[in-house]
Amino acid sequence: MSDPPAKSRAQPDEDSPVSLPDELITEVLSFADAKTLMQMRCVSKFWNFIVSDPKFVKLHFKRSARNPHLTLFLSKSHLDGDNNVVPFSVSRLVENPLITLPNNPYYRLRDKECRFVIGSCNGWLCLLGYSCLSDYRQIWFRFWNPATGKMSQKLGYMWDHMLGLYTHFKFAFGYDNLSETYKIVLSILDEAANRTNSLPRLKFNREGNLLAVTTDDGGFKILANADSLKYLRDIEAYIQRFDANNGLIFHPVQYRIVTIPENMGPDNKVVRLRYSNNGDALLALGSKGIQKLWKWIPNALNPMGMATARFVPKEYRPSSGFLLTHDVPNDSDLAIPCIDISRNDAYGVSACGGLISLFNLISFRVMTSFMQPPPAATFLAFNPEDNNTVLIEREDSEIHIFNIRYHELISILKGHQMYITGIVFSRRLDTMVSSSADGELSSWCMSTWVNKKSVSIQIPGGRNAVAGETKVQFHVDEVKLLVCHETQIAIYDASEMELICQWLPRDGLSSAITSAAYSCNGQLVYATFIDGNIGIFDADSLQLRSRIGSSAYLYQNPSDSQNVYPLVVAAHPENSYQFAIGLSDGYVKIIEPTDSAVWLGQKVPVIWLMDCLCFSHDDKRTHFVIWKMEEFGVEESWAQLLRISYQDLQSVHHDVVDLQYSQWLPLHLSDHANTLILANNQERQAILYNIRDNRAVRTRITDEIQWFSAKVHIESLFSDILEA
């Protein structure tokens, strides 16, 4: 470093000012903000020398980290592409003043020929701009230091074809201390191949030499170059194991699994299984006509009698002690068990190749039987508009609409060529959809019972669907339709009966599908396979989120000739992460994730809080949880950082029920862990959550901020990008 400019060192007298030591001046100046220091350079050549010294720049940056900013992204003119980015002090944001951000042209990105902020590093903002030329889009980057006003030229030109495949980009911006270079990482998502709009999140660590990237299945990977591996210590083995499982980790301890001890009896497979509508009971029907009901009984440990895998439900029998059984024909292997429960949980109907039984779900006694076969019933469904009306699907492919109160046949629907295996209702669309064993789907108007449209499920190669069960279920929105066949899982738009997306068995899940069901919130699809695997899929894209191998819930000897596998899956009507499976050996198992594993079924945002890699997730629709990796790269160092009850957020988010569908993103956690700044996709303001008193308030910025685009930013005097 060159010597500083010479200064007069005259001895002070009574009338002359006191001369401060150079070290003290440097120390005092290092606490000033960057904009003030830019002005102080004009005080003297010596002060200009101090502020420009690289050692002082690093010292100042270290001090500035104590007062971070958030880059607030907004539009003052509300014109497309005319965006402002304003660095705003976190400490002032926490004070929560009522404020309108200045309409200062200095912060307009359009004047810098850019539109978006990719990231922040060492005081630099990485900006992205583009222009459209014919069918192509030219993309470039610029680096801007808002505190000093310094700006780079346009860099890193690239071209994007605007037509053809629908392609999205995701960028991350960081600094590699080893090579002393700034880096931009580009992730490309091809929607045509992935059929999903979800973009990965990318985050560098503080040193800039490691990159965490979220994966489509809800996990994440840590990426490093050869020079950075020494920072990972034993992380390399972890990365190899993570990749070996295609980004999925499966351990039995990640799930609570309870086996109901009373099975259905010898050679009695569990073919039908469903929860009561309020979720406190589980009803099963076996292939030999035996029907069982289990309930969770309130006790000291479970006072509300909640359905949970922590406790075994109790078998419920009538006072006579006899099982509820059905008359099954001699050729029982051909009988098709079917069952349904009324919307008020008072009654049920069931059959297994013989008479249809109407039973009381409270006393579990048969009230009456009707419709002597042949033809036998193949599917039963209560009309959601009337608990006294049952739709009876029969072997002759007809649908009989029957009033069980007056024993009156209301109507007969015809149109299928093979026996019917499923029927569901959408009151929103005034539509009923039926499915048959040949893979045909038919939609009917519920008001007139007129057939509106019929389609066949699409089999790759133009082949016809093999005969077998085609199961259907409506999404919670009552528009999307889940279709399950042994060859595929598919999502249809029921309003037009058009295919949206399709998943075919492959890779680790290559065997035939036995059953599939939506989670109650419509975000997941649970599917079972004939080889014993259970797949958990994203309900929008049908991308695999997680897999439970048979070894996690079956304890059979591999040498046994009997192949035990799940035949049916039922999702709990209120707990999105609980489901039950009925097995070919007559047993029923209830599965739910442990508290620390719920995130495996969610798309988790990767974030940095207090210099730690973190991720956040919803926990059973009651809490928002944040985990941190205390030692970067060490899997065993994950620890729970915060667990926030949604009730504590109720003061700012009045509709607590909607919290399960909200998307939350932690933006910043103060150094003393006092205040957490949260963004929520249903709020136009950020949420300031005080951790000490569990109190939440909204910010009071009158501008419409795009909070999910906010970046943590530390002011600096760095000009190293321009010097490179």
Q: What pLDDT score does 270 carry?
A: 94
**Are the C-beta atoms of 491 and 500 separated by less than 8 Å?**
yes
Which of 269-273, 433-437, 683-687 is predicted with the least confidence, judged by mean pLDDT?
683-687
Mean pLDDT along residues 426-446 = 94
Could you tell me how many residues make up the chain?
Answer: 724
Q: What pLDDT, in 10s, does the model give residues 371-421?
A: 888 899 999 999 999 999 999 999 999 999 999 998 999 999 999 999 999
Q: What pLDDT score does 220 carry?
A: 53
Q: What pLDDT score does 677 carry?
A: 94
Q: What pLDDT score does 241 carry?
A: 31
Q: What pLDDT score does 215 carry?
A: 54
CA 427 – CA 478 distance, rounded (Å): 7
Q: What pLDDT score does 173 carry?
A: 86
Q: What pLDDT score does 724 carry?
A: 56
**Are the C-beta atoms of 369 and 350 separated by less than 8 Å?**
no
13, containing H or E segment: none
Comparison of pLDDT for 456 and 200, the residue scoring more: 456
**Are the C-beta atoms of 573 and 278 separated by less than 8 Å?**
yes
| Rg of the chain (C-alpha set) | 32
Which residues face 116 on adjacent strands? 128
**Are the C-beta atoms of 593 and 602 separated by less than 8 Å?**
no
Residue 166 pLDDT > 60: no
What percentage of the chain's residues is helix, strand, coil (to nearest 5)? 15, 40, 45
Tokens found for residue 414: 């015809």
CA 65 – CA 714 distance, rounded (Å): 6
Query: For residue 242, what pLDDT band results from cuts at 50, 70 and 90?
Result: very low
Cα-based distances in Å from 13 to 10, 17, 18, 19, 223: 9, 8, 9, 11, 63
Range with top average pLDDT, 76-85, 464-473, 576-585: 576-585
Q: What pLDDT score does 228 carry?
A: 52
Tokens found for residue 609: 């809080």
Tokens found for residue 265: 């009896």
Q: What pLDDT score does 701 carry?
A: 92
Q: What pLDDT score does 616 carry?
A: 87
Query: For residue 125, what pLDDT band results from cuts at 50, 70 and 90?
Result: very high
Q: What pLDDT score does 622 carry?
A: 80
Q: Which residue has the tokens 């978006």?
A: 116
3-state secondary structure of 25: helix
Cα 509–Cα 514–Cα 518 angle in degrees, nearest 5: 90
Q: What is the DSSP letter of 709?
A: G
CA 526 – CA 517 distance, rounded (Å): 5
Q: Which residue has the tokens 């030109």?
A: 157
508 phi and psi, to 5 degrees? -75, -10
CA 503 – CA 463 distance, rounded (Å): 16
Q: What pLDDT score does 231 carry?
A: 42
Q: What is the DSSP letter of 465?
A: P
Query: For residue 234, what pLDDT band results from cuts at 50, 70 and 90?
Result: very low
Tokens found for residue 244: 């070996």
Of 641, 644, 670, 680, nearest to 94 by C-alpha is: 670
CA 202 – CA 180 distance, rounded (Å): 20
Amino acid at 375: P
61 phi and psi, to 5 degrees? -65, -40
Range with top average pLDDT, 324-333, 479-488, 662-671: 479-488
What would the 3-class secondary structure string for 541-606 be?
CCCEEEEECHHHCCCCCCCCCCCCCEEEEEECCCCCCCEEEEECCCCEEEEEECHHHHHHHCCCCE
Tokens found for residue 367: 């009230």
CA 250 – CA 591 distance, rounded (Å): 14
Comparison of pLDDT for 670 and 270, the residue scoring more: 270
Of 709, 603, 569, 702, nearest to 215 by C-alpha is: 603
Amino acid at 669: L
Query: For residue 233, what pLDDT band results from cuts at 50, 70 and 90?
Result: very low
Mean pLDDT along residues 439-446 = 95
Residue 197 pLDDT > 70: no
Q: CB-based burial of residue 470 (10 Å sphere; 0-12 exposed, 13-18 middle, 19+ buried)?
A: buried
Which of 65-74, 86-95, 182-191, 625-634 is predicted with the least confidence, judged by mean pLDDT?
182-191
Cα-based distances in Å from 624 to 476, 486, 710: 23, 37, 20
Tokens found for residue 412: 């007969």
